[in-house]
Amino acid sequence: MRLLFFIALLFALTPAAHAAPDGIVLTFVGDCTLGSDINFGYEGTLPAVIDAHHGDLSYVFRNVAAIFAADDLTVVNLEGTLTDRGTRQTKEFAFRGPPSYARMLALGGVEAASLANNHTYDYGDEGYSDTINALNRNGIAWFDEGRVLRTAAGGIPVGIVGYAGFYATDGLKEQLAAAIASLKAEGRFVAVCFHWGIEGSYLPDGDQVELAHHAIDRGADLVVGHHPHVLQGIEFYKHRPIAYSLGNFVFGGNMNPNDKRTMLLQIRLRQGAVAVRVIPACISSVDHINDYQPRLLAGDEKTRFFRWYNTISAVQFQGDDWVSVTAD
């Protein structure tokens, strides 16, 4: 009897038992390139805008920082390096900003960053090492292929894995299944972040759908995607959400993209139930250029956003209200 008492006490003290009664909220946003490409020159780049604002590193996330601060975990896709060293790799676009720009994330209320993308090694091993060190110095958790993020957001154990998933190979599927199984064995809510898809496409390709479904078949609770630089829709598969692409966010990789629409994806976990919310935004506070300061949409802009987004999304949204995912 005494043994049973101690076993019961042990379970009562697990992190999940202390989850907030109102649940927790996770926020995911798209590509954040906190820098530029040296081939862009200087005028009109993100570093030039920061300099024009007297080096104010709170500038880029200012319009969304309150939302990030109010949630339990904010995750970005950090697409580029934070380094003053290394050699630019031979490729069309290679991104970097100074290591001090990692402070932008901390000031904006961001807690975690994915490095599982095709720009992580734009400045080689030195650039990668400097990026990690800059994130660590600023208290930003990070994950990459082969490195899992384990955290307790609001008392709920969460595990996040990231992969560059351009092709649904058997090897990638095996890695994914093993990582998910390990995290599920720890009793975690498992999110998978993929860097995948075709640039400029508003619809997921076959490899995206195959990998997303595979991840959920193997136990993932959420799939989030990046890379196309535009938004793609959301699907509920086996009662679990898949957001195929979150587009750009603070994106120093383009001084004036044609499509500036973006969004904040929020996931609410409450007593075993999952709900999804889309908060529409623009990557720039002005329309004629990219000023690298995302703003929330309101009024007619917000209405037009959802009218358009519902044409590419299997899940339909009536404004930025929560949409419940039916439990098993």
Condensed to tens digits (0 to 9), the pLDDT of residues 229-250 reads 999 999 999 999 999 999 999 9
Mean pLDDT computed over every residue of the chain: 93
* β 295-296/189-195 pair status: unpaired
**Averaged over 54-60, what is the pLDDT?**
98
> Phi and psi (nearest 5°) for 45?
-85, 170
Residue whose entry in the numeric block shows the structure tokens 């496409």 = 201
> Is residue 215 within 8 Å of residue 225, measured between CB atoms?
no
Confidence of residue 1 (pLDDT cuts 50, 70, 90): very low
Provide the residue type at 211 as one letter: L
Rounded Cα–Cα distance for residues 84 and 29 (Å): 26
**pTM for this entry:** 0.93
Q: Can you name the CATH fold of 23-325?
A: Purple Acid Phosphatase; chain A, domain 2 (3.60.21)
3-state SS, 276-313, equals: EEEEEEECCCCCCCCCCCCEECCHHHHHHHHHHHCCCC
- Give the model's confidence band at 271: pLDDT under 50 very low, under 70 low, under 90 confident, else very high: confident
Q: How far apart are CA 198 and CA 52, in angstroms?
A: 34
Only one residue has tokens 């064995």, namely 185
CA distance 39 to 69: 35
**Per-residue pLDDT at 327:** 52
Q: Closest Cα partner for 248 from 221, 271, 230?
A: 230
| pLDDT for residue 3 is more than 50 | no
CA–CA separation, 326 vs 273, rounded Å? Answer: 8
